[in-house]
Amino acid sequence: MGCPTLAASLFLRLRWGLRIFLAAFLAASLAIASAQSPTPARTLINKCAPDFSLQDLSGRALRLRTYRGQVVLLNFWATWCAPCQLEMPVFSAWQHQYGPQGFAIIGISMDDDTAPARRLVEQLRLDYPNAMGDARLGMRYGGVLGLPLTFLIDRNGVVRARFQGETDTITIEKKVQVLLGGPHP
C-alpha cells in the first residue's frame, strides 16, 4: 500500500477540522444555554440569595443586600393569584410581630402592569416594600413558574427555605421563628 494521495490527505485534514469545529460549536452552545437557563430553585438552598436592585412601588430604592443582618421573607406574587392574596395580610402581620427581632418582608409582583399591583398593595394595606419583578429576576431565583413563591433568607443572606404554591402559613412561620432564634409571642 502506497502513500495517500494529495486529495486523500486534504480530505482527512478537512474531516478532522470539521470535527474540531463541531465540537467547539457544541461546547459553546451548551455554555450559552446553561448561562441563560434558570438556576434550579432547589440549588439556591444554602447558597447566597441573588442580589437585586429595584424601585419599590413608592419609588424608593430597594436592594436585597441592604437587608443583611435581618431574616428576609422574599415573596413572589401576582394580583390574579388567590393564594397570594390570602397570605399577604398574614405576612404583613408578621412584619409587625417579628420586625423588632430583625425580620423583614419584600414582595415582588410578577404582574405585567404596575397599576393593578399598586392597587392591591393599597387595598390590603401592606406596609412592607413591594416592587415589580420581571422574567430576568425570576430566572435568577430558579424560574418563577408558579405563585406564590416564597424564600426565607437568613441574616447572612443565605437562602434557607423555599415554599412553592399555596403553603400553610404556620409551616412558614415556624421556619421564620427558627431563623430568628426561637419562637416569639
For residues 17 and 91, membership in a common domain is answered with: no
> What pLDDT score was predicted for residue 182?
72
Question: Residue 54: which domain range?
Answer: 41-180
Q: Name the β-bridge partners of 132.
A: 109
For residues 30 and 118, membership in a common domain is answered with: no
Torsion sign, CA atoms 42, 46, 139, 170: positive
Distance CA 99, CA 32 (A): 42
Judging by beta carbons within 10 Å of its beta carbon (0-12, 13-18, 19+), is residue 34 exposed, middle or buried? exposed
- Pair 102, 71: CB distance under 8 Å: yes
Mean pLDDT by 10 residues, the chain (185 residues): 58 59 48 46 88 98 98 98 98 98 98 98 98 97 95 98 96 98 66
Please give the angle made by the CA atoms of 28, 33 and 38, to the nearest 5 degrees.
Answer: 150
> What pLDDT score was predicted for residue 10?
56
> What pLDDT score was predicted for residue 56?
98
For the entire predicted model, the pTM comes to: 0.78
For residues 58 and 28, membership in a common domain is answered with: no
Is residue 139 domain-resident?
yes
Is residue 95 domain-resident?
yes
Look up the CATH number of the domain holding residue 62. Answer: 3.40.30.10
For residues 22 and 74, membership in a common domain is answered with: no
> What pLDDT score was predicted for residue 42?
63
Number of structural domains, the chain? 2
Is residue 185 domain-resident?
no
For residues 78 and 114, membership in a common domain is answered with: yes
Estimate to the nearest angstrom the gap between the alpha carbon of 43 and the chain centroid: 11
Is residue 129 domain-resident?
yes
- Pair 49, 161: CB distance under 8 Å: no
